[in-house]
Amino acid sequence: MEPKPWRDRVREEEELLQRLNRLASEAAARRAQALREGVAELGTVAAVARTLGRTWQAIDQALKRDERRRASAEDATTTE
């Protein structure tokens, strides 16, 4: 059996990377939503962090990254 040409392999791997990046982005958004729900339930980012065994900075950064992503998505869909 003849191996696939390198150009085809590169194209397939690039497509796979695009799908994985999209899936990771979607997972991060769902995680941020769950973290926001945790903050609403427990009252603070620190309480969520303690419950999950993470630092408050890690939780805060995840929430801020999602806020920036959502803001840029809204700007991209705005038409004037």
For residue 35, count other CB atoms closer than 10 A to its CB. 21
Q: Angle 56-77/45-52 helices, nearest 10 degrees?
A: 120
49-65: pLDDT as tens digits = 999 999 999 999 999 99
Angle at 31 between CA 25 and CA 33, to 5 degrees: 105
19-36: pLDDT as tens digits = 999 999 999 999 999 999
* Average confidence score pLDDT of the chain: 94
